[in-house]
Amino acid sequence: MTWWHVLVGFLLPNLLGYGGGPAMIPLLQDQAVTNFHWLSNAEFANVLALGNVLPGPIATKMATFIGYQVDGWLGVLIALAATIVPSAVALILLMRLLNRHRQSDAVRGMTAMVQPVIAVLMVALTWEIGKASVMKIGWVQSLIIAALSLWLMQWRKVHPALVIVGAFAYGGIVLPLFH
34 binds other proteins (CB under 8 A): no
Q: Which of 26, 41, 94, 100 binds other proteins (CB under 8 A)?
A: 94
- Interface residue with other proteins among 26, 41, 45, 95 (CB under 8 A) is 95
Q: Which stretch binds other proteins (CB under 8 A): 1-9, 12-20, 28-36, 37-45?
A: 12-20
Binding status of residue 106 toward other proteins by CB under 8 A: yes
Q: Does 64 bind other proteins (CB under 8 A)?
A: yes
Q: For residues 46 and 136, what is the distance between their CA atoms, to the nearest angstrom?
A: 21
Distance CA 106, CA 113 (A): 11
| Using rule CB under 8 A, residue 51 touches other proteins | yes
Q: How far is the CB of 146 from other proteins (least distance, A)?
A: 4
Tell me how far, at minimum, the Cβ of 6 lies from other proteins, in Å: 15
Confirm or reject binding of residue 9 to other proteins (CB under 8 A).
no
Q: Applying CB under 8 A, does 45 fall inside the site for other proteins?
A: no
Q: Is 156 helix (H, G, I), strand (E, B) or coil?
A: coil
Residues 113-152 touching other proteins, rule: CB under 8 A, are 113-126, 129-130, 132-133, 136-137, 141-143, 145-146, 149-150
d(CA 84, CA 114): 24
Distance CA 22, CA 123 (A): 19
CA distance 174 to 69: 38
Torsion angle, CA of 121/123/125/130, rounded to 10 degrees?
180
- Assess contact for 75 and 6: CB atoms under 8 A: yes
Q: Which is nearer to other proteins, 1 or 113 (CB)?
A: 113
Closest approach of other proteins to the CB of residue 13, in Å:
9
Whether the CA torsion 49, 50, 51, 53 is positive or negative: it is positive
